[in-house]
Chain A
Amino acid sequence: MGLENVKHIILVLSGKGGVGKSSITTQLALTLSLQGRSVGVLDVDLTGPNIPRFFGIEAKKVTQAAGGLVPVVVHEGRDKTIGIANGSTKKRRDNLTFGSLSCMSLGFILSSRSSAVIWRGPKKTAMVRQFLTSTLWPANLDYLLIDTPPGTSDEHISLLETLLKEAMPGQLAGAVVVTTPQAISTSDVKKELNFCVKTNVKVLGIVENMSGFVCPHCRECTNVFSKGGGEVMAREFGKPFLGSVPIDPAFVMLIEEGKLPTYPEGTMVEGVDVGGAGLADVSEAQDPDNYVPDDGLLVEKYTSCSLYPIFDGIVKRLVLDVEGEAS
């Protein structure tokens, strides 16, 4: 049980808090799923479990089964296209295929969403071990992404100790390290890179998050937290730089309210115009204060997000690195 069902394990780490580990984990999971992989997400941030909110499954509960805990399903896999509908967005979506996505977090077990988990080390260690060893992931899970809290302390030590004991050789593919561009953040993240060196975890690459913010009014990009720090750090440590991810308020809206991302015309991402009718129906570009929530799956709506093309590139590189090595 537990980890035997999993092919590859990827850790998402960062020395600094609030750089977007959970947001990056979410998008890596959605993109891996869109590339046809079955994905599991494990949230070991015990004192601030946010993954349930990111996937919009806060109300769900984990069920106990013989031999362990059953993770919450975000969506089932879909391997062939379904019927053709009228709207262009709808049609494009129905042609999507994706792998299944399920997730496990302490957030599902807590009785109230605002109650504090005030635990010292040993209890956190026990919980991390239990999550890792007794979650009943679906059989033949391609990827298990593990979202971690900031720092290099109890959760991280326990996580790696358990993985060393339980995981098969080669199963732990490595870590994706997240940073934001400013020096305050990279100086903390450098500590995390040294943590990976000390614990022999391969760094699959560095992602620079929150690099630039595109003003929704004038499309001018401002480097809110400066830019380029992640790339410089990657070069300094000789690690692959996977890419820069700008701040996209439409992604926040997608997560918080389920709103389909729309952009003003002429918004260019990776050389593609994602604005206006580029990816979404114009009719869906509504007044932000007066919109009807879209009932599609998160993974379907995510393909309209300007960040999707960026993650598509990042994940392709990761998959090549991880699966190329395994074969």
Chain B
Amino acid sequence: MAPTLEADLTEPPSEALNANLKAAPPKLVAPEPEHCPGPESDQAGKGDACDGCPNQAICATAPKGPDPDIPIITERLSGVKHKVLVLSGKGGVGKSTFSALFAQAFSTLLRKKKIRRGDGDVEDNAEEEEEEDDTPPTVGIMDTDLCGPSIPRMLLGDNLQDIHTTSSGWEPVWASDTLAVMSIQFMLEDPDAAVIWRGPKKNGLIKRFLKDVEWGKLDLLVVDTPPGTSDEHLSIQSFLKEAGVDGAVLVTTPQEVALLDVRRELDFCRKAGIRVIGIVENMSGFVCPNVKCGRESQIFRPTTGGARKLCKDEGVLFLGSVPLDPRIGMACDFGESFLEAFPESVAAKRITEVVGLVGESIGLEVVT
């Protein structure tokens, strides 16, 4: 699939980085006031906070109603069977690592199950589906952490590639035959450049990742997110509302400081109407690699019962715990697949179990 460079339908990625949001929200003449109802909202220009705001007239006359781009996103993602978000309130708990391993596990280690579809779930072309049975699922991974994108390094190591523009959109970078990757890191000329963006600009790029990327036919799209509950999360949720999200996997570490943020994330999922598939506890326990010792200790001690207890209290599925293995970090630094390199390790086995549970939960049946 050679990219044609005379593409006229879409801007090259570099321009998108510098451009503001296309249509909505309206161009404002002053910063939004503190209690701004949001320039895109139905209340724009009519709220109490709008009185005296220099933007009032602009907001009041801007086109209202649902974002016209959402049907385009829905159309673009029509070939994507399942969509899973990876969330965590806290940073550095292993969202990106888990997203990467998850995508790798699906796209390389696993095989689609023989399709035995029963009631009502009619496939367009049953025969073609049968033939695909023994192939690994095709997986896409979208990195929405714009200020700290880690996915490209984890999957591709140092050999970053540029995104090609074709007449039908941006072509994702393929980490393997069955694993498509999209991240802002591919668009930066200087890999260390800081992306100093406020919310609306971040939302604009996330929208383009969904609207303009040629995802094609995917069995699964994994969306990796930044920590917190802010612009990126709200945008993903609203952009994907119509296309439908299967659910979210929450990642945490065992100590209370991390669980505290996960509770906030659960609250966010509830408020935003996102189904929680379950919680994975990462970095849970560490086995001393010293041959004379080999005893287990807790680096991040689960003083309040860890994720297992949290799941029980909140009525959420506990997907499993993955021990801390220094080799995972090393593999990620060099873009190697930990699961392929150390399939016998405890961590790899646990991760595969978690992947199986998630697959089962969203109805993407696979065999290991």
Check if B199 sits within 8 Å of A121, measured CB to CB: yes
B residues within 8 A CB of A290? none
Majority DSSP secondary structure for residues of B touching A = loop
**Any B CB within 8 A of the CB of A291:** no
**Any A CB within 8 A of the CB of B216:** no
Check if B300 sits within 8 Å of A220, measured CB to CB: no
Check if A113 sits within 8 Å of B192, measured CB to CB: no
Check if A222 sits within 8 Å of B326, measured CB to CB: yes
* A 112-161 contacts with B by CB, 8 A: 113-126, 149-154, 156-157
Check if A252 sits within 8 Å of B255, measured CB to CB: yes
In Å, the complex CA distance between A195 and B253 comes to 29
**Any A CB within 8 A of the CB of B227:** yes
* CB nearest neighbor in B for A215: B288
Check if B228 sits within 8 Å of A149, measured CB to CB: yes
Q: A47-B229, A121-B198 are in contact. Are A182 and B333 (CB under 8 A)?
A: yes
In Å, the complex CA distance between A117 and B228 comes to 9
Check if B229 sits within 8 Å of A247, measured CB to CB: no
B residues within 8 A CB of A16? 91-92, 148, 150
In Å, the complex CA distance between A19 and B94 comes to 11
B residues within 8 A CB of A122? 31-34, 36, 199
Check if A184 sits within 8 Å of B324, measured CB to CB: no
**Any A CB within 8 A of the CB of B135:** no
In Å, the complex CA distance between A266 and B21 comes to 60
In Å, the complex CA distance between A238 and B261 comes to 35
**Any B CB within 8 A of the CB of A285:** no
Check if A150 sits within 8 Å of B91, measured CB to CB: yes
Shortest CB–CB separation between residue A323 and chain B, in angstroms? Answer: 29
A residues within 8 A CB of B32? 122
**Any B CB within 8 A of the CB of A312:** no
In Å, the complex CA distance between A117 and B265 comes to 9
Per-residue A-contact encoding for B291-314, CB less than 8 Å = 1, 0 else:
011010111110100000000000
A residues within 8 A CB of B33? 122
Check if A53 sits within 8 Å of B256, measured CB to CB: yes
Q: A47-B264, A249-B298 are in contact. Are A217 and B293 (CB under 8 A)?
A: yes
In Å, the complex CA distance between A232 and B39 comes to 45
**Any B CB within 8 A of the CB of A64:** no
A residues within 8 A CB of B92? 16-19, 150, 180, 185
**Any A CB within 8 A of the CB of B47:** no
The count of chain B contact residues (Cβ–Cβ below 8 Å) is 73
Check if A150 sits within 8 Å of B148, measured CB to CB: yes
Q: A15-B148, A120-B234 are in contact. Are A184 and B91 (CB under 8 A)?
A: no
* A 201-231 contacts with B by CB, 8 A: 213, 215-218, 220, 222-226
In Å, the complex CA distance between A216 and B271 comes to 42
**Cβ-defined partner of B286 (8 Å) among A53, A126, A224:** A224
B residues within 8 A CB of A118? 229-230, 233-234, 268, 271-272
Per-residue A-contact encoding for B82-95, CB less than 8 Å = 1, 0 else:
00000001111100
Check if A195 sits within 8 Å of B227, measured CB to CB: no
**Any B CB within 8 A of the CB of A92:** no
In Å, the complex CA distance between A113 and B261 comes to 9
Per-residue B-contact encoding for A171-214, CB less than 8 Å = 1, 0 else:
00000000010111101101111110011000000000000010
A-B contact pairs, 21 of them (CB 8 A): A17-B93, A22-B257, A53-B257, A53-B260, A114-B263, A117-B264, A118-B272, A121-B230, A122-B31, A149-B228, A150-B147, A152-B195, A153-B147, A191-B148, A218-B293, A220-B288, A224-B324, A249-B297, A256-B256, A256-B257, A256-B301
Chain A residues engaging chain B, CB cutoff 8 angstroms: 15-19, 22, 47-48, 50, 53-54, 113-126, 149-154, 156-157, 180, 182-185, 187-188, 190-195, 198-199, 213, 215-218, 220, 222-226, 247, 249, 252-253, 255-257
Identify the 9 closest CB pairs spanning chains A and B, nearest first.
A17-B91, A18-B92, A121-B199, A151-B147, A114-B263, A126-B34, A47-B228, A218-B293, A195-B194
In the complex, besides A47-B230, A218-B290, A256-B255, 5 extra interface pairs with C-beta distance below 8 angstroms are A149-B91, A150-B148, A183-B334, A222-B326, A257-B303
